[in-house]
Amino acid sequence: MKVLAGTVRKLLRRRASGHIVNLLAKLHPGDVSNILLELNDRDQLAVFAVLVEREKRLAALALTDLGIERCVGLLTAIPPAEVAKVLQEMETDDRALFVSSLPQEIADQVMEQMRLEESLQVQGLLQYDEETAGRIMTPHVFALREDLSVSEAIHTIQTTQDLEMVFYLYVVDERNHLVGVASLRQLLMVPPSTSLKKVMTGNVISVRTETDQEEVAALVALYDLLAIPVVDHENKLVGVITVDDVIDVIKDEATEDILHLAGVEADDHVHGNALTSVRKRLPWLGVNLGTALLAATVVALYEPTIAAIPQLAIFLPVVAGMGGNSGTQTLTVIVRSLALGETTWKNARSVVFKEMKVGLFNGLSLGLLAGLIAFFWKGSYILGGVMAAAMICNMLVAGLMGTLVPLVLKKLNVDPAIASGIFLTTFTDVVGFFSFLGLAAYLLR
């Protein structure tokens, strides 16, 4: 890829756009995306403009692998009429995704320029909520009537265009209700006069248009499907979601969880605008500042103690921080297992006990170690003892709260990935400060 990107860069300098098109047209669209990613923003746009001018289909296919943020950047830089032509080369679900990601004004202009049929299809998908099956499905689903014979079915397959990606043959009744599914191989295994009704498997796993995309992905993964049909409230077949779209959903959901755990919104993109990122991250940091100051009021209660023994200030952040670290370990294990469906309210009790045990053991080991260090460093066995006791206490509580907080949030239908961290660190700060300073004040009075 790097060599090819270098060649493309040289051709750009020489303004040899014809050669660029020839070179890229020989590659797989996925490789074209990879080359675009190797280029800087200006070169990327230049190459994309050349593709849009001469190879609309390749431009469209390359886009779908580029990531939405970058694509929006490229699409807003070319005229809406050209954007419409590029989008027309895409699958309907991708087209809807791109239209919905463009700024409203540009999206409207693009829709106006599209052929009527295609803009209606896009509007059809956009009527469904974001992150539902209806939004990510493609409405081009290949279905056969149940009263067809196998030979008629095979003939239909042979004469229909654009069928490369057909894995399952969905079977419908005369009113388009989904009634069964068959594989191409099944058709080859029976006499040609057999009716599809006899060949098909009747029990089709399907989803409704309003099914959450995460649930769709879970079903496809659980049943090892290559595609899943989408039906409306009357069980009429309206679309299909293929496994490649499911892979995107799984990646996106994982990204969402990873970013949420750090208090970042899922659409905060690394190559996006700085001010947009500020707007997205500032609220969470603001809440954090609030909880940190709240915890600081605990410290304020013990100002006289600190004035008497300023060494306490050295170890204070250590006690609070270690509780936060060990609680975050627990929290992350729980949040991920909730996302994967491995932990439920049902088996939660044993998990809570386990994590408290882990917190206690870790607290004992590191608390005693830290206590010894504090003792040897400052020569006060009381300081050492307070350090050890506070750390043990805080890490035990961290294990408990690291489990309970995400479980309770999940029960309350709040995304545990996004909100758990704030609650947890507030707990570990407060418990850390209280146990350390309170004990010190009591013993060192």
Scanning residues 64 to 103, which ones bind a copy of itself (CB under 8 A)?
65, 67
Token pair listed for 57: 């289909």
Token pair listed for 304: 């006289």
Which residues is 138 bridged to in the sheet? Answer: 240
Cβ closer to a copy of itself: 126 or 408? 408
Among 304, 376, 413, 445, binds a copy of itself (CB under 8 A): 304
Rounded Cα distance, 120 and 132, in Å: 19
Closest contact distance (angstroms) between CB of 317 and a copy of itself is 5
Cβ closer to a copy of itself: 30 or 202? 30
At residue 26, φ and ψ (nearest 5 deg) are -80, -15
- Residue 17: enclosing H or E segment and its boundaries? helix 17-25
414 binds a copy of itself (CB under 8 A): no
Q: How many residues does the chain have?
A: 445
Closest contact distance (angstroms) between CB of 435 and a copy of itself is 14
Among 189, 411, 414, 442, binds a copy of itself (CB under 8 A): 189
Closest contact distance (angstroms) between CB of 265 and a copy of itself is 10
254 binds a copy of itself (CB under 8 A): yes
Rounded Cα distance, 264 and 272, in Å: 13
Among 25, 81, 120, 285, binds a copy of itself (CB under 8 A): 285
Closest contact distance (angstroms) between CB of 206 and a copy of itself is 13
Residues 196-225 that bind a copy of itself (CB under 8 A): 205, 220-224
Residues 144-163 that bind a copy of itself (CB under 8 A): 154, 157-158, 163
Residues 227-246 that bind a copy of itself (CB under 8 A): 243-244, 246
Cβ closer to a copy of itself: 22 or 350? 350
292 binds a copy of itself (CB under 8 A): yes
257 binds a copy of itself (CB under 8 A): yes
Which residues is 237 bridged to in the sheet? Answer: 231
Q: How far is CA 219 from the centre of its chain?
A: 17
Outline where 342-380 has alpha helix (H): 348-378
Stretch that binds a copy of itself, among 76-84, 113-121, 171-179, 291-299 (CB under 8 A): 291-299
Picking from 354, 342, 319, 333, the residue whose alpha carbon sits closest to that of residue 430 is 319
Amino acid at 55: E
CB neighbour burial string for 435-444, b if at least 16 within 10 angstroms, e if fewer:
bbbbbbbeee
Contact yes or no for 241/230 (Cβ under 8 A)? yes
- Residue in this structure with the two tokens 């005229």, named with its chain if needed: 79
164 binds a copy of itself (CB under 8 A): yes
Rounded Cα distance, 142 and 200, in Å: 15
120 binds a copy of itself (CB under 8 A): no
User: Residue 354: is it exposed, middle or buried by C-beta count within 10 angstroms (0-12/13-18/19+)?
Assistant: middle
Rounded Cα distance, 81 and 414, in Å: 42
251 binds a copy of itself (CB under 8 A): yes
Stretch that binds a copy of itself, among 82-90, 104-112, 120-128, 249-257 (CB under 8 A): 249-257
Cβ closer to a copy of itself: 184 or 414? 184
Which residues is 240 bridged to in the sheet? Answer: 138, 229
Among 262, 414, 442, 443, binds a copy of itself (CB under 8 A): 262
300 binds a copy of itself (CB under 8 A): yes
Q: The sheet that has 143-145: what strands, in order across it?
A: 143-145, 169-172, 178-182
Cβ closer to a copy of itself: 50 or 312? 312
- CA distances from residue 116 to 7, 21, 132, 326, 432 in whole angstroms, order as listed: 40, 30, 25, 58, 64
# residues near a copy of itself by CB under 8 A: 113
Binding mask 322-341 for a copy of itself (x = CB under 8 A): x--xx-xx-xxxxxxx--xx
Rounded Cα distance, 28 and 234, in Å: 40
Binding mask 15-34 for a copy of itself (x = CB under 8 A): -------------x-x--xx
Cβ closer to a copy of itself: 56 or 354? 354
Rounded Cα distance, 334 and 416, in Å: 9
Binding mask 369-388 for a copy of itself (x = CB under 8 A): xx--x---------------
Among 16, 19, 38, 176, binds a copy of itself (CB under 8 A): 38
